[in-house]
Structure 1
């Protein structure tokens, strides 16, 4: 019923994860491991290879550093898809809005975040992030996090072959399902532990510029009760520009600044920008 696809940074996934999958999924499944220990593939390429190999009608993409707490989570997925034929993609963390300005999915109003996940930090501590489910255990979002993505398999939907690297594949997949008329949702009924936390390095900023350029005519997206994302457009844009300048990407920073200027031409940020730009 479910094809589990994992892009592994090593030649095999940990025995602890194999054992955890067997004990918790609760239904028939196949496991497809893409050996990327030699970095032959981008995450987009690796996941497309996994889709091509899959034989089931539900495909589930997992990080290799997780542990499921919920029992019979496979059955929960099947039930959600069966009861809601217009749902195409399910996650455990995501956001109800996404600005046109480049940003991570979580750079949105706090009220727009939906998640149920046990997140570990480098110091060994963990936090249970559970929010956004005041009215339902299933919330519509516009983007989900790539730690867990369960999708209804569609021959017309895959990961973008033009995008490279290891970032923003989750935005890519979320937007493609939305573009094809499907709902993208986050469920409260599946809980997992995630043992690492993402790193927003220079590669991430380059990738984020690329994917926002690719979807520039599709964004912004907003399924929340907020009337306007204008303030978040400006703050996401200015924060991103500051990081671009930090990485000496002045041309990209200037191009983005022109768009930010149109949102709010009288902000003090513009003086700060030019001081940094001409350093």
Structure 2
């Protein structure tokens, strides 16, 4: 059975959302709704509460603003796990790269991403499907939190030392890899997502906290210098955008915490001052 766990921002979910799940899943399931309309829980606490209430052998964490387009997607998901026993976490978007720098999973070159989604953003709707060759599932090191299917028998829970509503997907991906299991992205399941996450100061500060706590795990991803520099530049841009120039000077020195490469540090410090002085 599949336990579908939702952290709901409302005290009642949209009936159309539930009907869509019921009409498309094609396998036994239960819907575990954690009412977080009063912001009682962090996302980490809410999902852990959902895990405690769940009865299924597959835990499926999803956003409440999606629509499934794939018929019998539950049967497909079960088949993916049965046919790929080394995989324990499957999503519909993710990356084969994640550096130690405080950035999103998407902050890498497109060649490292795998995505299959219909995404709404600022009035535009686009279908994205790339990053797959002949396979239906491709290995990643981190997936997006809009849809995350986890094998329950790993006994993984979310890290409640982390707060707020960001980086839970990074947390879960790292936890699975620590168990020596694979993380993957499938192109067999298509969903439509009606919103996009908001990047702001709170997101950036949460990302910094997460990456400090998990830098040893992230270091094992063995990112190369080009990947680090790409992500490091994104981190610098986020600092300047969300913290302003004055506070960004303080965060310049955090670059030293997220890389041990002299080449990377030198390149990023040069990039920072060029951006800082608008060169």
Report the TM-score when normalising by structure 2: 0.90
Distance, in Å, in 1 between the alignment partners of 2:86 and 2:105 is: 22
Q: Distance in 2 between matches of 1:21 and 1:12?
A: 15
**Counterpart-to-counterpart distance in 2, 1:217 and 1:46:** 26
Aligned ranges for residues 63-78 of structure 1 at < 5 Å? 63-78=63-78
| Structure 1: stretches of 5+ with no match in the other structure | none
1:243 to 225, 238, 252: 238
Contact 2:25 2:71 in 1 (8 A): yes
**Alignment partners' CA distance in 1, 2:185 and 2:74:** 15
State the shift of 1:218 in Å: 1.4
Match of 2:170 in 1: 171
Distance change >3 Å, CA 2–CA 266, structure 1 → 2: closer
1:1-279 → structure 2 map (5 Å cutoff): 1-123=1-123, 125-154=124-153, 156-220=155-219, 222=221, 229-246=224-241, 247=243, 248=247, 250-256=249-255, 262-264=262-264, 267=267, 269-270=269-270, 272-273=272-273, 276=276
User: Whole-Å Cα distance in 1 between the matches of residues 275 and 97 of structure 2?
Assistant: 32
Take 1:190 and 1:258, find their aligned partners in 2: how far apart are those partners? 38
Check 1:159–1:271 CA distance in 2 against 1; reply closer, same or farther (3 A cut). closer
For residue 99 of structure 1, give the secondary structure of its aligned residue in structure 2.
Answer: coil
Shift of 1:148: 0.3
Deviates more, 1:136-145 or 1:239-248: 239-248
Q: Separation in 1 of the partners of 2:111 and 2:190?
A: 20
SS in 1 for 2:103: coil
CA distance in 1, matches of 2:168, 2:257: 27
The superposition leaves residues 186-235 of structure 1 with CA deviations (integer Å, 9 ceiling, x where unpaired) of 11100000000111111110111111111111124559xxxx63122123
Cα deviation, residue 276, structure 1: 3.8
Flag the 1:156–1:274 CA change in 2: closer, same or farther, 3 A: same
Q: Quote how far apart the aligned CAs of 1:49 are.
A: 0.3
Alpha-carbon distance, 1:87 to partner: 1.2
What's the C-alpha RMSD, in Å, of the aligned pairs? 2.2
**Aligned residues of 1:167 and 1:204 also touching (Cα < 8 A):** yes
Moved more, 211-220 or 256-265: 256-265
TM-score, normalised to structure 1, is 0.90
Change (3 A) 1:94 1:272: closer
Q: Report how far residue 271 of structure 1 moved.
A: 7.3
Query: Which stretch shifts more, 213-222 or 105-114?
Result: 213-222
Counterpart secondary structure, 2:218: coil
State the secondary structure of the residue aligned to 2:23: helix
Structure 2: unaligned runs, 5 residues or longer: none
Question: Using a 3 Å threshold, how does the CA distance of structure 1 residues 195 and 86 change in structure 2: closer, same or farther?
Answer: same
